[in-house]
Amino acid sequence: MTIMKCLIERLLTRSTAAFLPRPIFSSKTDLLWKANDLVSARSHFCQPLKHSVIGVEEHGNHSHVASLASSRPCSWFHHFMRQEGSLHKLLNVSGGKNWGFAILCHGFGMSSSAVQPVSVNGRPSTKVSAVKVSADESAESKAVGAHISNVPRLSRAEVMERLKLSQETHTRNQNYLAMYSSVIGGITADPELMVIPMDDHMVHRGHGVFDTAAIMDGYLYELDQHLNRFLRSASMAKINPPFDRATIRNILIQTVGASNCKEGSLRYWLSAGPGNFLLSPTGCRCPSLYAIVIEGQAPREQIGIKVITSSIPIKSPQFAVMKSVNYLPNVLSMMEAEEKGGFTGIWLDYESYVAEGTNMNVGFVTAEKELLMPHFDKILSGCTAKRVSVLAEKLVREGILTGVRFRNVTVEEGKRANEMMLIGSGILVKSVLQWDDQVIGDGKEGPVARALLHLILEDMKAGPASVRVRVPYY
C-alpha cells in the first residue's frame, strides 16, 4: 500500500468520516459539491484554511474524495505545495494511476472556492479536470460562499468538542505533552486546552520573549544558560516576570516532570500579558508565563547542507541580541533559503561581516586550524555555540585545533574556510558543504564539525551538573 493510500485511508476513517458520510461521487457536479462540503465542514470544524488538497480515487464509476492536507505550517505536505510542480512530485509519490488531486482555495467568509484540476501521471484526470469553478463563473460557488458564511454560534460544550476534534484531526508532526500557563496557574496535558488569550500582548503586538531547552534521557540540557538568556531578553523587552527566577525554573522543571517526556524539547514564553488590544502594555493585567513540552522532535536530517546568503535584512543589533517572538525576518529568510534549495539563510551584519543563521550560529575552521565564531554583540548569543567553544578546548589540547576565537569574520574568509558549520540547540552542530555557489573546503563533512557534534552529544548524555538538570517525574 502506498504512503498516499495509507494517508487517504487514515483521513477517511478519521477526519473526513468525522464530518461527512463517506464521500462518493460520480459526476463533476457531485465532486464539486462533495469537495465543497468537505471544505465547509473543515472550515466550520477547524480554523479557516487557505487551501486544502483533496485527493480523488477513482473506482470504476465511483470516486472517493478525501482531504489530504490543509495549509498548515511545518507540514511536509505544505512544503511540497509551496514548490512549483510539487503536485507532480506528489503524484509520483502516490505511484498509482487512479489518483487525482485538486486544490481547494478558500478563506473564512470568502464567497468563492476554486477547485483546480490536476493531472494524474501527466494526463488530465477525466473526472477532476472537468471541474473548474470560481465565484464569478458559477452560481454554484456563490451558493457555496453563502454556506461558508453561515457561521454557527456555538455553546461552550460545542466549542470544547470542536477544539478536541480539531486537535485529533490535524495531521501534526509533533506531540504536545504538557503546557503550563500562568493565566490558569497550572499544567494541562490536553492539547486542545493548550491555548493563550487572544488579547495577550504577545499575540497581537509581538510583545513577548521565548527560549528553549532540550530534554535528553530525562535531563534538561543547559536549562540555566537558556533561562539566563530568557530573563535578559525579558528585561530588554521591558517585561517584568510574574515570578522570580527560582520559581520560573521550578515551574519549567515541573512541567517537564508532568509531561513524562524523556526525549524532546521545552519551549517557554514571557509576555506582557492579556488585557486589551492597545499598543501600550499599561492595560495588561499581569505578565504571563507559558511553557510547553514537545515530544522527541527529530532534527531536520539533511545530508550535504547548502546555505544561502539572506536577502532579508538582518534585525538591528538591539533586536537581534534579544530572543523576542518577532521572528518574521527569520521565517522569511528561512523560506527564501528553502526556495533556493538551501537549509537556512545566512545573515551578514550592517558592516557585511558574517552574522548568524535564521535560528542558529555559525562557525568556521580556518586553514590555520582555528575555530572562528562571530562576536555576539550584534546577534543572538547562542547557548550551544558558547558550550561548543568550551568543549572545543579539548580539540585544542589534542592538537586538532590551534585555538578558538570570537571575532569578525568576512564573507571571503568564511567562504574560503576549511570548514563551515551551523551551531544551535535545534541542530547541534552541522557541517555546511556549500555557501551560495561556493563549495566549502573539500565539499565533505568536516572532521572538526564531526568531532564537535560528538562532544556535544556526549555532554548532553553525561556532562556536568552545570549543564544537566535531572527532571523529577511523577
What's the rounded Cα separation, in Å, for the pair 394 and 247? 35
Q: Where does this chain touch ligand PLP (CB under 6 A) — which range of 11-19, 286-294, 301-309, 352-360?
A: 352-360
Q: Is 359 in the site for ligand PLP (CB under 6 A)?
A: yes
Q: Where does this chain touch ligand PLP (CB under 6 A) — which range of 81-89, 355-363, 402-410, 452-460?
A: 355-363
Listed in sequence order, the residues at least 6 apart from 44 whose beta carbon sits closer than 8 Å to its beta carbon are 151, 152
Q: Is 382 in the site for ligand PLP (CB under 6 A)?
A: yes
What's the rounded Cα separation, in Å, for the pair 241 and 235? 9
Q: Where does this chain touch ligand PLP (CB under 6 A) — which range of 71-79, 247-255, 263-271, 380-388?
A: 380-388
Q: Is 333 in the site for ligand PLP (CB under 6 A)?
A: no
Q: How far is the CB of 435 from ligand PLP (least distance, A)?
A: 17
Q: Which is nearer to ligand PLP, 92 or 318 (CB)?
A: 318
- What does the angle CA 312 – CA 316 – CA 317 come to, to the nearest 5 degrees? 130
Q: How far is the CB of 404 from ligand PLP (least distance, A)?
A: 16
Q: Is 309 in the site for ligand PLP (CB under 6 A)?
A: no
Q: Is 288 in the site for ligand PLP (CB under 6 A)?
A: no
What's the rounded Cα separation, in Å, for the pair 71 and 48? 10
Q: Where does this chain touch ligand PLP (CB under 6 A) — which range of 118-126, 296-304, 331-339, 353-361?
A: 353-361
Residue 42 identity: R
Q: How far is the CB of 213 from ligand PLP (least distance, A)?
A: 9
Terminal CA-CA length for the chain: 41
Q: How far is the CB of 384 from ligand PLP (least distance, A)?
A: 3
Q: Which is nearer to ligand PLP, 131 or 380 (CB)?
A: 380
Taking CB under 6 A as the criterion, the residue among 58, 336, 356, 445 binding ligand PLP is 356
Listed in sequence order, the residues at least 6 apart from 310 whose beta carbon sits closer than 8 Å to its beta carbon are 333, 336, 337, 345, 346, 347, 348, 358
Q: Is 66 in the site for ligand PLP (CB under 6 A)?
A: no
For 140-158, b/e burial (b = at least 16 CB within 10 A) is: ebeebbeebeeeeeeeeee
Q: Which is nearer to ligand PLP, 253 or 383 (CB)?
A: 383
Q: Is 360 in the site for ligand PLP (CB under 6 A)?
A: yes
Q: Is 310 in the site for ligand PLP (CB under 6 A)?
A: no
Please return the burial class of 215, using the count of CB atoms within 10 Å of its CB with bins 0-12, 13-18 and 19+. Answer: buried
Taking CB under 6 A as the criterion, the residue among 87, 177, 380, 395 binding ligand PLP is 380
Q: Where does this chain touch ligand PLP (CB under 6 A) — which range of 61-69, 266-274, 383-391, 456-464?
A: 383-391
Q: Which is nearer to ligand PLP, 131 or 320 (CB)?
A: 320
Size of the site for ligand PLP (CB under 6 A): 11
Q: How far is the CB of 10 from ligand PLP (least distance, A)?
A: 33
Q: How far is the CB of 468 from ligand PLP (least distance, A)?
A: 16
Q: Where does this chain touch ligand PLP (CB under 6 A) — which range of 24-32, 149-157, 291-299, 376-384?
A: 376-384
Taking CB under 6 A as the criterion, the residue among 36, 271, 324, 361 binding ligand PLP is 361
Taking CB under 6 A as the criterion, the residue among 373, 383, 409, 453 binding ligand PLP is 383
Taking CB under 6 A as the criterion, the residue among 63, 255, 384, 431 binding ligand PLP is 384
Q: Which is nearer to ligand PLP, 70 or 425 (CB)?
A: 425
Taking CB under 6 A as the criterion, the residue among 281, 287, 424, 446 binding ligand PLP is 424
- Annotated active-site positions, please? 323
Please return the burial class of 48, using the count of CB atoms within 10 Å of its CB with bins 0-12, 13-18 and 19+. Answer: middle
Q: Which is nearer to ligand PLP, 94 or 359 (CB)?
A: 359
What's the rounded Cα separation, in Å, for the pair 254 and 190? 16
What cell was used for 435? Answer: 555557501
Q: Are 58 and 125 in contact (CB under 8 A)?
A: yes
What's the rounded Cα separation, in Å, for the pair 42 and 30? 18
Q: How far is the CB of 459 from ligand PLP (least distance, A)?
A: 13
Residues lying near ligand PLP in the complex (CB under 6 A) are found at 356, 359-361, 380, 382-385, 424-425
